[in-house]
Amino acid sequence: MAGVTRFAPSPTGPLHLGHAYSALIAASRGDRFLLRIEDIDTARYKPEWEAAIFDDLSWLGLRWERPVMRQSERQDAYEQALIRLDSLGLTYHCTCTRGDIRAALSAPQEGAPVIGPDGPIYPGTCRALGHKTGAVRLHMAKAMERLGDVRFIETGTRAGAHIISAEHLITQVGDIVLARKDIGTSYHLSVVVDDAAQEITEVTRGEDLFDATAIHVALFRLLNLPVPLFHHHKLIRDENGKRLAKRDDARALSRYRAEGATPDDIRRMVGL
């Protein structure tokens, strides 16, 4: 597979077997392989986790192009994207707390809340209030009026052409947060703006992010950016079938390394 691929870890914990698998798959699928440090979540960021990312990936035998993109240095690009979406009339400010949203959704007339990729679908409380501050949300219904259904090509576990209907995005995803009040951006916005800036041709990630990909495809289109291919891969699970999490220190690469495992052992463990 020719093209540009990337691994985009967040330095908020140790890399585990699942990350090793994801990075190895991404590297094997591109003839250019890039790394991006997703460090927008400053509350959970630790420099030692970032240092460990470089160290573990080099140990695994991976090489990537330099300079490495860091999301903490990309605020201007995120701001530009927000300005564009705002100029299209597709955003609004929201001052709701999680508690406000829970309360609005528990009103008897609301029925059971629909849970989207980011949690309960936002009930739209602030949509028409004209706030000047707060988080920035995407007005999904207006965005879909512009786009209609969106499509992407998946080369991984659910290989084929996928169509995500406007209806699905409006009712099952809703008005997602584009910029959190504290950090001025969000995972969804940053990942799209940066995959485009790095000219990634195939985004490789775990299949747990399949639903998030639908959001990203819509954002690529709204921002007039080329939609890459997507390769969702299987998740590495523990012996109980539970997917590995950051706090799963037991499967941290550093732990295996300390116990004398080789990079080949890691490849075998993840089925490569």
Of the candidate spans 5-13, 73-81, 133-141, 255-263, the one that interacts with ligand GLU by CB under 6 A turns out to be: 5-13
Nearest distance from residue 94's CB to ligand GLU, in Å? Answer: 23
If you search the block for the tokens 């990942």, which residue do you land on?
A: 191
- Select the span of 2-10, 98-106, 134-142, 229-237 touching ligand GLU (CB under 6 A): 2-10
Residue 45 burial (10 A CB sphere; 0-12, 13-18, 19+): middle
CA distance 252 to 245: 10
Closest CA to 92 of 82, 77, 105, 102: 82
Half-sphere exposure at residue 215, Cβ-oriented, CA atoms within 13 angstroms: 27
Beta bridge partners of 119: 116
Q: Which is nearer to ligand GLU, 126 or 219 (CB)?
A: 219
| Minimum CB distance to ligand GLU, residue 209 (Å) | 6
Using CA atoms, how far residue 244 sits from 121, 213, 247, in Å, is: 26, 20, 8
- Output DSSP code: residue 172: I
In the set 164, 209, 222, 253, which binds ligand GLU (CB under 6 A)?
A: 209
Give the interface segment with ligand GLU, choosing from 8-16, 75-83, 106-114, 141-149 (CB under 6 A).
8-16
Q: Which of residues 36-65 bind ligand GLU (CB under 6 A)?
A: 38
For 177, the enclosing helix (H) or strand (E) is strand 177-179
Does position 198 interact with ligand GLU (CB under 6 A)? The reply is no
Q: In angstroms, what is the minimal distance from the CB of 138 to ligand GLU?
A: 17
Q: Name the segment binding ligand GLU (CB under 6 A); options: 4-12, 103-111, 116-124, 260-268.
A: 4-12
67, 194, 7, 162 alpha-carbon torsion, rounded to 10°: -150
Using CB under 6 A as the binding criterion, the count of chain residues that bind ligand GLU stands at: 7
Q: Which is nearer to ligand GLU, 96 or 227 (CB)?
A: 227
Residue with Cβ nearer ligand GLU (10 or 91):
10
The CA distance from 174 to 157, in Å, is 26
DSSP 156: S
CA distance 271 to 26: 15
Q: Binding residue for ligand GLU (CB under 6 A) from 29, 205, 221, 233?
A: 205
Among the candidate windows 3-11, 110-118, 121-129, 227-235, which touches ligand GLU by CB under 6 A? 3-11
Out of 35, 140, 170, 191, the residue judged to bind ligand GLU by CB under 6 A: 191
| Residue pair 53/11 in contact by the 8 Å Cβ criterion | yes
The reply on whether position 71 binds ligand GLU by CB under 6 A is: no
Binding residues for ligand GLU (CB under 6 A): 8-10, 38, 191, 205, 209
